[in-house]
């Protein structure tokens, strides 16, 4: 059973470009969480999605950021018009149910660098 997969693992963008980060949850998992990790800071929750639904986006910046988890395919975190401050590691986690510390598994992350 493959783990949570994220791609690309590294992404370089120039200011003003768009970044698309993809997350494929573990098989059987229909709940996806996105986190951002800035240097020397802890993971910060961004958004929680189930298939075709955004459940909680309280951690998402109000502008430029959006997320989706379509019926088919991976979850996508999209950052429009990137700025240098968006440089960070973005992790997704998946779980088979909304509750359960023990059932949430993290992917390896996508490291975004904005030049």
Q: How far is the CB of 59 from another protein (least distance, A)?
A: 8
Return the closest-CA partner of residue 19 out of 99, 87, 109, 101: 87
DSSP codes of every residue in 59-98: TS-SSSEEEE--SSS-EEEEE-S--GGG-EEEEEEEESSS
**Structure tokens that stand for 35 in this block:** 């986190």
Contact 51, 83 (CB under 8 A): no
Q: How far is the CB of 67 from another protein (least distance, A)?
A: 12
Q: Counting contacts by CB under 8 A, is residue 99 touching another protein?
A: yes
User: Among all chains, which residue has been given the structure tokens 């990790």?
Assistant: 37
Q: How far is the CB of 57 from another protein (least distance, A)?
A: 9
The footprint of another protein on residues 14-73 (CB under 8 A) is 31, 33, 35, 40-45, 48, 55-56, 58-59
Return the closest-CA partner of residue 24 out of 60, 65, 77: 77
Stretch that binds another protein, among 11-19, 60-68, 80-88, 90-98 (CB under 8 A): 90-98
Judged by CB under 8 A, the residue of 21, 60, 93, 112 near another protein is 93
Contact residues for another protein, defined by CB under 8 A: 4, 31, 33, 35, 40-45, 48, 55-56, 58-59, 91, 93, 95, 98-102, 104, 106-109, 111
């Amino acid at each position: 059973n493959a783990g949570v997969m994220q791609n690309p693992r590294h992404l370089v963008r120039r200011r003003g470009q768009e970044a698309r980060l993809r997350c494929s949850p573990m098989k059987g998992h229909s709940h996806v969480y996105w986190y951002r990790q800035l240097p020397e800071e802890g993971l910060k929750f961004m958004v929680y999605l189930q298939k075709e639904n955004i459940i909680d986006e309280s951690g998402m910046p109000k502008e430029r950021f959006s997320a989706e988890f379509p019926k088919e395919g991976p979850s996508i975190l999209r950052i429009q018009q990137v700025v240098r401050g968006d440089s960070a590691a973005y992790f997704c986690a998946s779980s088979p149910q909304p509750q359960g510390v023990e059932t949430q598994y993290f992917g390896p992350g996508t490291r975004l660098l904005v030049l």
